[in-house]
A and B are shown apart, each in its own frame.
Chain A
Amino acid sequence: MPSVLPAATLAMLVVATTLSGCATTDASESGDAIEPANRGVFSFNQGLDHKVLRPVAQGYEAHVPESVRSCVRNVFSNLGDIFTSVNQLLQGEPRKAGSDISRFGINTTVGVLGCFDPATSMGLAKHKRDFGETLALWGVPPGPYVVLPLFGPSTVRDAFGLVPSWFLDPIDYIAGPAIYAVKGTQTVSNRSSNLKASDLVDSAALDPYLFTRDAFLARRLDQIYDGHPPRQQEETEPMPRTEPSDGTADLN
């Protein structure tokens, strides 16, 4: 899996960047310049999820006791704290970087290789920072919305942000076929923690593609602005103000 993904991701990026270059008129307000291609990948991902990943994650949740699942979740989350700490530094937050690397130290030792999370109860809150956010804070524009095969919703910026994680993730240095077992477990564990959320999307969305896209973009904006994103249209009174009386004109 890790060997295929970078190639597929890069191919997708090339397509995205090329297409976004020529999309002039139809680049809607949403920044979804390659919507048709994205919809294709989205339904491919959904098909794969419904046929393979979701059932496996449901089985995992049904048959593995919560104590074990929480241990597995914590171990991966603990490894993630290294990458978070690096990104905190890159984002100019040395104190938080220190806190996150201390979390890693405490949870790896006292918390038995990350199985438990004593650091949180010691007042070191969990953070999650990735390189996509770092790029955003450095002023890199998001580029169009891209649905990556297997990875799911992303932007061109976030997709490039995945690259350093391939080098900084300790799991990627596991030699031999064991890496597949570890990556597989991580994927199933992550998916099982999202089961409720994905059911919620299924019951909430009229158009799962649009709902997922807008939810993802809102979530990313919220993360980049650390919970205080600028409020645009939704904050204004919904009655006509920004648009003149062209309500029907652009229904084309």
Chain B
Amino acid sequence: MTLSPTDTSRERALCRIAVLILLLALLAPMALAEGLAPDALIKSVTAEVTSAIREDPAIRAGDARRLSELIEAKIVPHFDFNRAVRIAMGRNWRSATPEQQEELTREFKTLVLRTYSGVLAAYRDQAIAFKPVRGRPGDSDVTVRSEVDQPGAEPLAIEYDLGKAGAEWKVYDIRVSGISLVATYRSTFSEEVRNYGVDGLIQHLAAKNRQAAGARARS
């Protein structure tokens, strides 16, 4: 199409439409995410994930790769791994270079997701109940508590810590029976950094992840 230099009104209209589309594209996902309160978010993700597990014979048979695909698609987008790794690193986070921080985040993400997928792999149709969230509307940090029924045992408490990251709520820690998937690493990480430095910690994390990936591939 040819636009003559005098055809400015049409050009301007097109331009306005383009800007409008761009704005809509940018705002739409934000608006959607903004609408979900933290407990609603966790509930809907939990419902999606558990029904996916229920309906997938491969996952029920122990297919770890299928399970991690599910986690990657449904859970990872709602997780703030950067905040998680900062908690695990504590004050040592500042002594890491930006490149090291990036590597730490990547390796820690793999580690935490592997553990969480181990927890999820044990899920078999048990009822999950959510407790009312205690918090004030303006809070930027909230804990969503759930309980998974277990036959003949106390219910398993699973808690999600969420923080507001921009307009969205993101999970930065998960506690199973009071045991944090993130904070439990604090003393390990600080020992590692003290003895081997940040690079040593990254190497050990990577080795651990490689070893686990190998074990998974073999089984």
Interface residues of A (CB under 8 A from B): 30, 70, 73-74, 77, 117, 120, 125-128, 196, 199-200, 203-207, 210-211, 213-215, 218-219, 221-223, 227, 229, 233-235, 238-240, 243, 247-248, 251
Closest B residue by C-beta to A196: B122
> Which B residues, 46 to 95, have Cβ-Cβ distances below 8 Å to chain A?
83, 86-87, 89-95
Give the dominant DSSP class at B's interface. Answer: helix
Complex: A235 Cα to B89 Cα, angstroms: 14
Chain B residues with Cβ under 8 A from A125's Cβ?
154-155
Residues A247 and B205 in contact in the complex (CB < 8 Å), given A128-B154, A218-B178, A219-B177: no
Chain A residues with Cβ under 8 A from B185's Cβ?
206, 211
How extensive is the interface on chain B, given as a class? 35 or more
Give the dominant DSSP class at A's interface. Answer: helix
Chain B residues with Cβ under 8 A from A218's Cβ?
175, 178-180, 183-184
Q: Are B182 and A205 in contact (CB under 8 A)?
A: no
Chain B residues with Cβ under 8 A from A243's Cβ?
91
Complex: A53 Cα to B94 Cα, angstroms: 43
Q: Are A233 and B90 in contact (CB under 8 A)?
A: yes
Closest A residue by C-beta to B112: A204
Complex: A177 Cα to B204 Cα, angstroms: 48
B119 at the A/B interface (Cβ < 8 Å)?
Answer: yes
User: What 16 additional pairs, Cβ within 8 angstroms, besides A120-B152, A219-B178?
Assistant: A77-B152, A77-B153, A117-B151, A199-B118, A206-B192, A207-B191, A210-B187, A210-B188, A211-B184, A214-B187, A234-B87, A235-B141, A238-B87, A238-B93, A239-B93, A240-B94
Chain B residues with Cβ under 8 A from A117's Cβ?
151-152
Complex: A122 Cα to B93 Cα, angstroms: 51
Complex: A125 Cα to B149 Cα, angstroms: 10
Looking at A120, A211, A227, A235, the one whose CB has the most chain B CB atoms below 10 A away is A227
Q: Are B173 and A120 in contact (CB under 8 A)?
A: no
Give 1 or 0 for each of B95-132: 1 = CB within 8 Å of chain A CB. Answer: 10000000000000001001100110010000000000
Q: Are A203 and B188 in contact (CB under 8 A)?
A: no
B212 at the A/B interface (Cβ < 8 Å)?
Answer: yes
Closest B residue by C-beta to A229: B178
Q: Are B151 and A70 in contact (CB under 8 A)?
A: yes
Complex: A120 Cα to B141 Cα, angstroms: 35
Q: Are A238 and B119 in contact (CB under 8 A)?
A: no
Contact partner of B186 (CB less than 8 A), chosen from A200, A227, A233, is A233
Closest A residue by C-beta to B211: A203
Q: Are B95 and A223 in contact (CB under 8 A)?
A: no
6 A-B interface contacts by CB (under 8 A): A70-B151, A214-B187, A222-B178, A223-B178, A235-B161, A239-B93
Closest A residue by C-beta to B204: A206
B194 at the A/B interface (Cβ < 8 Å)?
Answer: yes
Nearest chain A CB to B58 CB, angstrom units: 19
Complex: A77 Cα to B152 Cα, angstroms: 8
Chain A residues with Cβ under 8 A from B183's Cβ?
214, 218, 233-234
Chain B residues with Cβ under 8 A from A70's Cβ?
151-152
Chain A residues with Cβ under 8 A from B83's Cβ?
238
Looking at B91, B193, B215, the one whose CB has the most chain A CB atoms below 10 A away is B91
Nearest chain B CB to A183 CB, angstrom units: 20
